[in-house]
Chain A
Amino acid sequence: MSISLWRVSYALARRALRNSLRRPQFLAPLVIFPSLFLAVNVGGLHRSTDLPGFPAVHGFLDFQLAAALTQSLLLGGIAQGIAAALEIELGFFDRLAVAPIPRVAIVFGRLGATAVISAFQVAYFLILGLVFGAHVASGPGGALLTLVLGVLAGIGFGAIGQALALRARSAATLQGIFPLVFVILFISTAFFPRRLLESPIDTIARYNPLSYLADGIRNPIIATVDAKPVLEGLLAGGAITLFGVTVAVLALRGRLREA
């Protein structure tokens, strides 16, 4: 009798999603913090679009939506890590470990839930932007592209969150990582175009995959789709996801082997 990886992953994804919805205190910060950042940035820095070198955009809100989205997805990854760490702390992980299931289903299940939550995060920020006067320049197709990129990145961040949880086994440690999200994001092109960044931030941003991800998410919103940034965004999102899933599966194996 073999137990299907996909059936178990689906069941665990449903559980993780349902639990996320039942723990709104974990879900709310994913949209509240980035929304506040977005409001403050757009309210205080909207004249930035007048700076020489700033790309031609419909408005600063359009430009900043990608930053808020990337920030929200990063926070989503941390939240999934915290949920996974709590599962270890409270012993539910042991229940999964002692079940005759394909082990990777433990990682894949949570990633399934992460994908759905990421889609909602993307939809929330696009709708928020539209309500407050932003445009999606490349239309519904561009919005769909943003959704694909967002979900891909969300899965990657969620996988990294799980890897950290499996290594740290402590929700408090994951909470400690929370502020790093802001640092990593500030040294990318999420908030400002690279040509307006000073050295050495512009150099760091050049090697920061979040820059390519944010630019990829942003492109369909602020302009008609340009293949280069979108492909670079897909590549960055894919690389983050591949890296995240690999380290999560390795961390799971390590966790089970150490036991």
Chain B
Amino acid sequence: MRNKISAVPAIETEGLERTFGSRGRVLTAVDGIDIEVAPGEVYGFLGPNGAGKTTTVRMLVTLLRPTGGLARVAGFDVARESGEVRRRIGVALQEAALDLLMTGRELMELQATLHGIAPRDVHDRATNLIERVGLEQAQDRRVGTYSGGMRRRLDLAMALIHQPEVLFLDEPTTGLDPTSRVTLWDEVRRLKHEGTTVFLTTQYLEEADQLADRVGIISAGKIVAEGTPTQLKAEIGRPHLDITLADGAGEDDFARAREVLRRFGEDRPPTPDCHLSVTVERGAADIAQVVRVLDDAGFTVESLDLVRPTLDDVFLAKTGGHLEGADEAAVEPTA
């Protein structure tokens, strides 16, 4: 095994590209992305479905060959030194690729064998990880009987069996209930504390906000923004008001209300839960005046929410659209 000094980025891509199809029908899924993830960092890779997140992960874990550019994981080229990369990574793929006919313990022990754990250590290593993810009671049941959250926890435990340098989690909480999601978040925090590099793809803003040291936002195969969540949100700056008018208001009313509100700031595309959205310079200090202006114009405000900048605002500013999971991931933070 080649020795690598710790200054080497855990993940590094230069102009990484992947196209599908041939001749006239070429689809570019990943379009020349540059990423650098430091050892021990949790990197959140955020984007809507079809943005290129999973294609990027599949290239980084050696399941898909890049059609252009370079990618190195743990210092090794994913195309030319794929075997070395595979020894150093743990992977929990989207939709937890588990064998539903096997029990949790059987799968853990198989995974240990696949990663060359000495036979005398297989049982103990599996036991430790089963306990770590809280599956002791279910370990001898077939995985087909597990809930979605249990499957994801088992998948995560399997990815950790050989203590990987870099862990890839591809949408680990998609489709999970809030409780299971928080359990997985706690585990990711623990891994970060232990110094594991984590590359986490997600379509949930809250998840990236809660877990990631840095976030890369991908849209249509390109990185459109990168930085810490705080940096990215600071770039957007101003908060906005989401306004819902009383029942009976129609498109004409919304258009007239937008005109009225123009003096406060920029009009934004409303979310599905409100009728109007407008940026405000002074945040809460503007609320009373907004209500008064609308009232003077003959509108009745049913609800009004002051929203501080989120990663969805960053996404909106960079791409003009909302993230699909923006509304789904509202989970109470645990830390």
Q: Are A98 and B63 in contact (CB-based, < 8 A)?
A: yes
Residues from 98 to 157 in B contacting A, C-beta threshold 8 Å: 98-102, 106, 110-111, 113-116, 119, 142
Rounded to whole Å, the gap between the CB of B297 and the closest CB of chain A is 56
How many inter-chain contacts with C-beta < 8 Å in the A-B complex?
A: 69
Q: Are B101 and A8 in contact (CB-based, < 8 A)?
A: no
Q: Are B97 and A95 in contact (CB-based, < 8 A)?
A: yes
Q: What is the 8 Å Cβ interface bit string for chain B, positions 69-109, against chain A (1 contact, 0 not)?
A: 00000000000000100110101010101111110001000
Complex formed: what's the CA distance from A18 to B100 in Å? 12
Q: Are B110 and A100 in contact (CB-based, < 8 A)?
A: no
Chain A: interface secondary structure? helix
Residues from 65 to 106 in A contacting B, C-beta threshold 8 Å: 90-92, 94-101
Q: Are B98 and A1 in contact (CB-based, < 8 A)?
A: no
Complex formed: what's the CA distance from A91 to B142 in Å? 17
Q: Are B99 and A1 in contact (CB-based, < 8 A)?
A: no
Q: Are B114 and A96 in contact (CB-based, < 8 A)?
A: yes
In the complex with contacts A22-B101, A98-B86, A98-B91, A11-B110 CB distance below 8 A: yes
Q: Are A99 and B98 in contact (CB-based, < 8 A)?
A: no
User: Does B1 lie at the interface of the complex (its beta carbon under 8 Å from any beta carbon of A)?
Assistant: yes
Report the nearest B residue to A22, measured CB to CB. Answer: B101
Q: What is the 8 Å Cβ interface bit string for chain A, positions 1-32, against chain B (1 contact, 0 not)?
A: 11100011001100100110011000000000
User: Does B310 lie at the interface of the complex (its beta carbon under 8 Å from any beta carbon of A)?
Assistant: no
Rounded to whole Å, the gap between the CB of B123 and the closest CB of chain A is 14
Residues from 239 to 259 in A contacting B, C-beta threshold 8 Å: 257, 259
In the complex with contacts A11-B110, A19-B102, A92-B98, A100-B87 CB distance below 8 A: yes
Size of the A side of the interface (Cβ < 8 Å), in residues, is 25
Report the nearest B residue to A258, measured CB to CB. Answer: B65
Report the nearest A residue to B62, measured CB to CB. Answer: A98
- What are 25 of the A-B contact pairs (CB < 8 Å)? A1-B116, A2-B116, A3-B115, A3-B116, A7-B113, A8-B114, A11-B110, A11-B113, A11-B114, A19-B99, A19-B102, A90-B100, A95-B93, A95-B97, A95-B111, A97-B63, A98-B62, A98-B86, A99-B86, A99-B111, A100-B86, A100-B87, A259-B58, A259-B63, A259-B64
Query: 3 smallest A-B Cβ distances: which pairs?
Result: A91-B97, A99-B114, A3-B116
Given contacts A3-B114, A90-B97, A94-B63, 20 further A-B contacts (CB under 8 A): A1-B116, A3-B115, A3-B116, A8-B114, A12-B110, A15-B102, A15-B106, A18-B101, A18-B106, A23-B101, A92-B97, A94-B97, A95-B93, A97-B62, A98-B61, A98-B62, A99-B115, A100-B114, A100-B116, A259-B65
Interface residues of A (CB under 8 A from B): 1-3, 7-8, 11-12, 15, 18-19, 22-23, 90-92, 94-101, 257, 259
